[in-house]
Amino acid sequence: MTTILYSLAGADRSRPFSPHCWKIVLALRHKDLDFEEKPLAFTEISEVEGGFSKTVPILRDGDKLVSDSFQIALHLEEAYPDRPSLFRGEGGKAMARFVEGYSQTTIHPAISAIALMDIYNILAPADQAHFRKTREALFGKPLEEVFPDRDGAIAAFPAKLQALRHMLRSQPFIGGEKPLFADYIVFGALQWLKVTTGSVHLPQDDKALDWFERCLDLFDGAGRKVA
């Protein structure tokens, strides 16, 4: 039975952009598993696998269906214990939750402030209507007015990665000498920014950019396949 990763894309299906789905692309490659990626529009998610989940990633792994990126990583770790570990122990599993907390509360809001309109602009028409409606309800204002200072958000972005830079003084990856799922969590966020805006908006001499490039190189350049 095929392993299928349902992910998210805009009008161009060849450019999936969801941060949470990119985490799982690299997690599946880390486990050296064959899979088929099926990028969906937002408004198609509820139509696949009998409406199993309102969000992607959704992983069909044989007869098993799992949603939520962290739950999928835990599933892969449990189902494929003989493949390279995504966590390297219980401490790593627990602390990946802290890295997730950092990514969700520090990096994701900063990326939203840059990329909100970029995301809107690459969506298929039906998704644009959905995206506008749900985000305008969430923010209580027209989409165009939610983050009026995109240049300011770009200028503020590099500072959000200070924790990563400090860590990079000690080791090349969050996982140590080699990457683990915690790296893919932060990679997914920056890949989301790159695919939707064309840049990660970091200076050329930034050690955090070097780390991102190392992640792009992984698994035959899996992250570079969406330029």
Residues within window 145-204 making contact with its own copies, judged by CB under 8 A = 162-167, 170-171, 173-177, 180, 182
Does position 85 interact with its own copies (CB under 8 A)? The reply is yes
Residue 219, amino acid: F
Does position 91 interact with its own copies (CB under 8 A)? The reply is yes
> Residue 2 CA to chain centroid, in angstroms?
23
Q: Decide: 47 and 53 in contact? Cβ < 8 Å.
A: no
105, 121, 134, 199: which one binds its own copies (CB under 8 A) = 105
Nearer Cβ to its own copies (42/184): 184
Sequence-ordered strand ranges (E) for the chain: 3-8, 36-40, 58-61, 64-67
Does position 81 interact with its own copies (CB under 8 A)? The reply is no
Residues within window 43-72 making contact with its own copies, judged by CB under 8 A = 70
Does position 104 interact with its own copies (CB under 8 A)? The reply is yes
Q: Residue 70: which of 108, 21, 110, 126 has the closest Cα?
A: 21
90, 151, 205, 220: which one binds its own copies (CB under 8 A) = 90
* DSSP, residue by residue, 10-73: -SSTT----HHHHHHHHHHHHTT---EEEEE-GGGGGGGGGG--SSS-EEEETTEEEESHHHHH
Nearer Cβ to its own copies (125/169): 169
State the CB neighbour count (10 A cutoff) for residue 27: 25
Does position 78 interact with its own copies (CB under 8 A)? The reply is no
| Site residues for its own copies per CB under 8 A | 70, 85, 87-102, 104-106, 162-167, 170-171, 173-177, 180, 182
